[in-house]
A = this chain, B = another copy of it.
Amino acid sequence: MTRQPTAAEFREWAHRVVEWVAGYYERVEGLPVRSRVSPGEVAARLPGRAPEKGWGDAGGEGGAAGGGDGFERFMRDLEEVVVPGLTHWQSPRFFGYFPSNASYPAIVGEMLSAGLNVNGMLWSTSPAATEVETRVVDWLGELIGLPGRFLSPSGTGGGCIQGTASESALVALAAARRRAGWGRGVELSRLTVYASEQAHSSIVKAAMIAGLAAGPEDRRQVRLIGTDAELAMDVGALEAALREDVSAGRVPCFVVATVGTTGTTAVDAVDRIAGAIGRVCGGEGAGARPWLHVDAAHAGAACVCEEHRWMLRGVEMADSICFNPHKWLLTNFDCDCFWTAERASLTGALSITPEYLRNAATDAGSVIDYRDWQVALGRRFRALKLWLVLRCYGAEGLRAHVREHVRLAGLFEAWVRADGRFEVVSPRTMNLVCFRLRGGDGANRRLMEGLNGSGSMYLSHTVVPDGAGGTKVALRMAIGATLTEERHVRAAWEAIAREAQVQGASAAS
């Protein structure tokens, strides 16, 4: 259409979409969880070119009679072309990867954020976007038990919302490079990075982007430290690697402790890692001390419950930490909360102020400009959804959400352990159960493919050490979708047990 749509048209479309979304949640349980389309199938149903005419235009969708028909045709395509091409992350039968929690208050928050469409790149470009964010990220930091040094009243620390934990890792590494002296006599090529072999791929990717690794296998400046029997970082091996690098004249720059690995939710010991760093490089205040970043992308959510806070033991010695409310804490993607105790290194690494961004509030130093905390300049008002989630559920509601999924994971684990055909392959720390059929990797892959192909549930896999120098496939049952209840977990276990029979697996006993 060559005019702007009217508010009346928006009302018509948007109310219709609200009903569609509500209806989607009422039926998502019944949809095949994994999409069944083949590569190219969705694209083949879309025209090769953009329409020349818009809604309501003569010759366009909806003809000359008004915009309504065009919108209805869109909704039909949504139903017929898009929905069959989706893997339904919001299904209560989705147990893959880590959950990607949507919730009704968060969706409402996204609607408001889209409606306002302000850009909070600077405090001055929408003060409320910055100040609400600072406040609710403080709230959340306190809820998971972070020490005051990570919260904004400390004056030297504070938090913000990033898109993903990958971005948090990258900006933390940028801060680390700066503190390590890059540009002030220390060459970039001398800096070294440490994480466990079980750390998320985003850590190596951050090193690649930041100029410390030319590819995923480049180990000139990246050390992937071995793990112990529980797949947590071998802190002795970390200490040895740090010592070796220091004695070779390299500069340890960035250490990542993973709290809740992606493969198995193993928990690196932050306190012992900080101890190793202190012994080799000196403690806090030592110029050469590498930046300690805690990647708690998934596990951070659990720390709203006191019984899970042991996972963050030692965090008071870290320089930054992030976790994703968009995984298991009911806040729509994207919402990664990132806190640092030393924001000066962060903003020092990322700040650049051309004339067109100068303003009185920034010049006075009295405000936070979040563009200096992130890769991008522009930013959405994502704090609205987090604020709505925290208010709607309250701390008690969040704890109840987490505890129920942990309880369900405990049930599921017990069922697996009681069935001699299966084994649990790693300790369960929260809501993820890693298990496998006793037998070959092929049988496990076929089991997974049978389940995912059936549409009745969805899970994903990883590989873990087999104790004999090799690896073995493990299936990952991550129980954390917003709508998942006990009946879904029970049905999933029954489907798994049934599928195992189909695969002809025999009991090991």
Contacts and interface: CB of A to CB of B under 8 A. Distances in A.
Interface string A1-36: 111110101110111011111101110000000010
Contact of A135 (B46, B129, B394): B46
Given A70-B392, A112-B17, A142-B49, A127 B11 contact: no
Contact of A54 (B25, B184, B394): B394
Contacts of A115: 17, 20-21, 24-25, 102, 107
Contacts of A106: 114
A507 B496 CA distance: 83
A264 to B, nearest CB: 10
Contacts of A87: 118, 124-127
Contact of A127 (B39, B184, B348): B39
Given A210-B210, A396-B57, A90 B116 contact: yes
A265 B482 CA distance: 47
B128 A82 contact: yes
Interface string A166-179: 11001000100110
Interface stretch (A270-278, A338-346, A350-358, A423-431): A350-358
A466 interface: no
A187 B166 CA distance: 25
A344 to B, nearest CB: 14
Contact of A376 (B131, B142, B164, B352): B164
Nearest to A86: B126
A7 B482 CA distance: 13
A47 to B, nearest CB: 8
A237 interface: no
A482 to B, nearest CB: 6
Contact of A21 (B14, B188, B378): B14
A483 B10 CA distance: 14
Interface string A400-421: 1000000000000000000000
A52 B18 contact: no
A111 B111 contact: yes
Given A2-B400, A356-B263, A14 B111 contact: yes
A325 interface: no
A349 to B, nearest CB: 7
B108 A17 contact: yes
A10 B163 contact: no
A415 B56 CA distance: 36
Chain copies in the assembled complex: 2
A396 B50 contact: no
B394 A183 contact: no
B39 A367 contact: yes
A166 to B, nearest CB: 5
Contact of A396 (B54, B100, B127, B380): B54
A454 interface: no
Given A334-B380, A351-B216, A391-B55, A114 B107 contact: yes
A305 to B, nearest CB: 13
A394 B73 CA distance: 14
A160 to B, nearest CB: 14
A110 interface: yes
A71 B123 CA distance: 27
Contacts of A111: 14, 17-18, 21, 107, 110-111, 114
A145 B248 CA distance: 54
Interface in A273-327: 326
Interface in A124-173: 124-129, 131-132, 134-136, 139-140, 142-143, 163-164, 166-167, 170
A65 B152 CA distance: 35
Given A1-B397, A67-B392, A124-B87, A131 B40 contact: yes
A205 B113 CA distance: 27
Interface stretch (A225-233, A239-247, A457-465): A457-465
Interface string A204-237: 1100111110111010000000000000000000
Contacts of A348: 215
A262 interface: yes
A89 B126 CA distance: 9
8 tightest CB-CB pairs across the interface, nearest first?
Answer: A211-B211, A183-B214, A85-B128, A54-B394, A21-B115, A110-B114, A102-B117, A50-B139
20 contacts: A5-B104, A10-B25, A11-B19, A15-B18, A21-B115, A42-B131, A46-B135, A50-B140, A52-B396, A74-B388, A85-B127, A85-B128, A86-B126, A86-B127, A89-B125, A102-B117, A110-B114, A119-B333, A183-B215, A201-B352
